[in-house]
Structure 1
Amino acid sequence: MGYVLGGRFDLAEVISEGGTSTVYRAIDRIGLWAREQTPEVAVKVIQPHAKIRQELVELLHREARLLRDCVHRNLVRIYDSDYDGKYHYLVMEFLKGRSLAQILVDRQGRPLSPSVSFQIVRAAGQGLVHMHRLGIVHGDLKPRNIFMTSTGEIKIVDFGTVLMLDGPRHHERAAALLDQIGLLTPAYASPEMLMGEPRAESDDVYSLAVVAYLTLTGTHPYAQWPANEALNANLTPPPPPTISPAQWRVLASGLALNRRDRIETVGEFVQRLGRPPWFYRLCGQRAPLS
């Protein structure tokens, strides 16, 4: 494409383009010179004439600060962010494959098998658990942000909405920016997030449970209603026909519209959901609701 970003990254082709930013496949000249096996990277560039550009720039560099040291096999690697005098940009790992959203669209409403669904939920959940250990909540997990690589790896790929669990002053500033820009996806955000409450790990439990339900049934549990509206309408999703009653009780707990009724941690949710039906029969237990 001709442009060398920051004197280092040769922009090769557009991967995706939105109203405020463009993601490119790029060649890292230093990596190429060092004969690295994979000199390819992905670079997200804020468009210079985008509306609310300053807010987007602030969130982009904040994403790099929070995630550059957050390294896990189920999280796309964030390397750095910079400004070359013309463009603000974020450099990250380049992946080949498809998003879960693309896979579901290609299936035209046909659900995934429980084994495949649980594999995706478990992998994404492990990435979220690692983030939570570092005090970071994702806040906007959805099929578009879960990527399945050509080698079978599953990675979370977008962190523009992350917030710290223990930083109220920074939380207020970042939350205000997210609200102003409208980055949250109402169909996947918890009721508490949509109502502006402080974030908790259980917000990611809710989003992951919605993704799990969608992959198991091909439909959204609350028919794409935002969670706060589903709460006011007292909606209840029907159980997926392909999982056991015990597994449904766990999934329903993850989908709970009141935080007090929801499983508190992603690790606990993934562990319980992945237990086979015979586990509860062997133990003589019902799947706990909280």
Structure 2
Amino acid sequence: MQITNGLHIDLASHTQQGLKEINEDAVGFFVPNETRLLDNKGVLLAVADGVSSAEAGKDASATAVTRFINDYYPTPETWSVKHAGQKLLSSINITLFKRSHEFANEEKGYLTTFTGMVIKSRTCHFFHVGDSRAYLLREGELTQLTRDHVASIGTGRTFLARAVGMDNCLQIDYGSVDLETGDILLATSDGIHDFVDEATLVEVLSCQLTEQEKIDKLATLALDGGSDDNISGVIAHITGLPNESLNDYNTKLTRLPFPPPLDPGVMLDGYQVIEELFASSRSQLYLVEDSETGTRVVMKTPSVTFEEDTGYIDRFIQEEWIGKRIHSEYVVKIIEQKRPRTCLYYLMEYVHGVSLDKWMKLNHFPKPKIAISIIEKVAKGLSEFHKMETIHQDLKPANILINQDNEIKIVDFGSVFVAGVAEIFVPLDHEGVLGTATYSDPKYLLGKNTGIQGDLYALATICYELFCGKLPYGDKIEECQTAFEYDRLRYISASDVNPIIPIWFDRTLQRGVAFDLEERYEVIDDFLTDLRNPNPIFLRDDPKAKKNKSQVLFWQLLSGFWILMLILVIAMFKQG
């Protein structure tokens, strides 16, 4: 089929369990419908072979293929194929590695081989881990593009030396080959290539059959040849190529100029600037209107100060990709750019509202039910980051927008850390970002990546401020630069600041903002549970545990809604 400007390609795949009880292989290919994605990203095909000795090999292979296909196309257009593929596979590897280590038995886990190919313009890019294979057939000559990651233990026995999910650091083989019309690309699991010799592969691939008939025939030959494994493969037959190569496309995009400061009325790529919403030394936010649809969105542009800073440019580009991966009603949405960009920027949904720090100045000591609702929504937004092995790292009231209905949106992906994607961990620069230092985990500011516990610290700090109007360690925390200076700080009891706060609620906040990671909650759900329900541990043997009238009122306000709902349910049940 003709799928893009001048590119003609026939694709087919096959997978079956063979003689095994279950099929632990996964195959897939994807052809975008949009010409822009086809030109910028290309066509993708992949095969993965879940390790049979691992309990979750089937899930591992399916995860690798599905995640690679789903996450590849939202990557920034300014990323090269190599850069995008390696980052994605590293991220997938971390996910599977963590799942693997949930099992006490080291023989079980989420392990899989992976071979993927991206056909973009006149080039095939391939990524490989394990003993699945990629081949190229050209004018009757078969070339194995990948090498098997196996090790010999004597007497002809081998074992898999590399797999996705095997280690927290993944070594990925990458290569590329210029394509010619008539080329046939083949990716197989060892259920095929261990039982069908290369001469037979050439014979089948060269015969006058459809690509589907070819891959089906290879599966049959493997089974007839004694294959006792799952049998899977993908074929791509190139029957036409574009006249113009796009190999340098990404390089050109990364050299896009920074837009100048944009005044109201200025038109950029079909977007008219309405007003400047925010400006800092690092970026600008503009409210813009799409001239074609009339839709208003927010345009984020980089600061011209960093035009020569390649690290800054890469992080700015990565922000857009991170935003595309997070899907939550409590996280600002990234808008897909439909027209070619002439400058470096990206688009976000426009949220009507104010930042939470401004909202708190207008709403001192909000009702407990409202405050808890806000914290729960922020926590749900954070959970979507964490599901993607992503840490926000800069959660603060200024990065949370709230509207008149008290609905919230987490914004700003500038400091986000993605496990398996970040080449290095770079803590925030303490100097000049005191607002951030107020809410960020001190361990993080001092150079330690505290992961989910770091986001939890920020969430607990915001919760404390909502109920108390102050910070849990006072304003002096903004001045701290060393571990010694943080050690001198003391937690200020929330019950002392706001007498209606019960001791159990105060101690929940205290544990949430504890500097010691062993004392702090490990997961956000546990923190939320103790905010909603008195933890008996926090009431035991404490003279302050006596509830005064104002504390009883606090609990009544917090739980009254649920009591009312229970009464309504009972009444409806009796009527029924």
Q: 2:365 aligns with which of 111, 118, 126?
A: 111
C-alpha distance in 2, partners of 1:264/1:43? Answer: 36
Q: 1:20 aligns with which of 244, 267, 282?
A: 282
Question: 1:286 and 2:541 equivalent?
Answer: no
Q: After superposition, where does 1:33-48 map in structure 2 within 5 Å? A: 39-48=295-304
CA gap 1:91/1:249 in 2 versus in 1, 3 angstroms: same
Q: Indicate conservation of the 8 Å contact 1:147/1:155, yes or no.
A: yes
Question: 1:170 and 2:422 equivalent?
Answer: yes
Higher mean C-alpha displacement, 7-16 vs 138-147: 7-16
Q: Indicate conservation of the 8 Å contact 1:83/1:89, yes or no.
A: no
Q: Spell out, residue by residue over 1:89-130, the C-alpha distance to the aligned partner (whole angstroms, 9 max, x if none).
A: 1211101111111112335xx333322221111110110011
Q: Spell out, residue by residue over 1:20-76, the C-alpha distance to the aligned partner (whole angstroms, 9 max, x if none).
A: 3221111123444xxxxxx11111111324587544332221111122121101111
| Gap runs ≥5 in structure 2 | 1-263, 541-576
CA gap 1:23/1:288 in 2 versus in 1, 3 angstroms: farther
Structure 1 residue matching 2:511: 3-state secondary structure? helix
**Which residue type is aligned with residue 469 of structure 2?**
G
Per the alignment, residue 61 of structure 1 pairs with 317
Q: Indicate conservation of the 8 Å contact 1:191/1:258, yes or no.
A: no
Higher mean C-alpha displacement, 144-153 vs 203-212: 144-153
C-alpha distance in 2, partners of 1:76/1:288? Answer: 39
C-alpha distance in 1, partners of 2:468/2:426? Answer: 32
Q: Indicate conservation of the 8 Å contact 2:278/2:286, yes or no.
A: yes
C-alpha distance in 2, partners of 1:230/1:125? Answer: 29
C-alpha distance in 2, partners of 1:246/1:194? Answer: 29
Per the alignment, residue 355 of structure 2 pairs with 99
CA gap 1:13/1:119 in 2 versus in 1, 3 angstroms: same
Deviation at 1:83, TM superposition (A): 8.5
Per the alignment, residue 145 of structure 1 pairs with 399
Q: 2:378 aligns with which of 121, 124, 132?
A: 124
Q: Indicate conservation of the 8 Å contact 2:365/2:466, yes or no.
A: yes
Q: Indicate conservation of the 8 Å contact 1:137/1:199, yes or no.
A: no
Q: Indicate conservation of the 8 Å contact 1:12/1:27, yes or no.
A: yes
Deviation at 1:187, TM superposition (A): 1.1
Per the alignment, residue 527 of structure 2 pairs with 269
Structure 2 residue matching 1:102: 3-state secondary structure? helix
C-alpha distance in 1, partners of 2:466/2:319? Answer: 28
Deviation at 1:237, TM superposition (A): 1.6
TM-score, normalised with respect to structure 1: 0.82
C-alpha distance in 1, partners of 2:302/2:314? Answer: 11
Question: 1:134 and 2:411 equivalent?
Answer: no
Q: Indicate conservation of the 8 Å contact 1:98/1:149, yes or no.
A: yes
Q: Spell out, residue by residue over 1:133-189, the C-alpha distance to the aligned partner (whole angstroms, 9 max, x if none).
A: 11111111111111112343111112211102x32x7251x526x549966811111
C-alpha distance in 1, partners of 2:278/2:490? Answer: 35
Runs of 4+, deviation exceeding 3 Å:
29-32, 49-56, 80-85, 178-184, 226-231
C-alpha distance in 2, partners of 1:288/1:158? Answer: 39
Alignment: residue pair count = 268
Question: 1:222 and 2:473 equivalent?
Answer: yes
Per the alignment, residue 270 of structure 2 pairs with 8
CA gap 1:83/1:221 in 2 versus in 1, 3 angstroms: farther
Paired-residue identity, %: 25
Task: Name which structure has the greater RCO, CA cutoff 8 Å, separation 6+.
Answer: 1
C-alpha distance in 2, partners of 1:144/1:26? Answer: 21
Q: 1:232 aligns with which of 475, 479, 487?
A: 487
Structure 1 residue matching 2:455: 3-state secondary structure? helix
Q: Indicate conservation of the 8 Å contact 1:253/1:262, yes or no.
A: yes
CA gap 1:194/1:163 in 2 versus in 1, 3 angstroms: same
Per the alignment, residue 256 of structure 2 pairs with none
Which is greater in Rg? 2
Q: After superposition, where does 1:187-226 map in structure 2 within 5 Å? A: 187-224=438-475, 225-226=477-478
Deviation at 1:264, TM superposition (A): 0.8
Per the alignment, residue 176 of structure 2 pairs with none
Structure 1 residue matching 2:422: 3-state secondary structure? helix
TM-score, normalised with respect to structure 2: 0.43
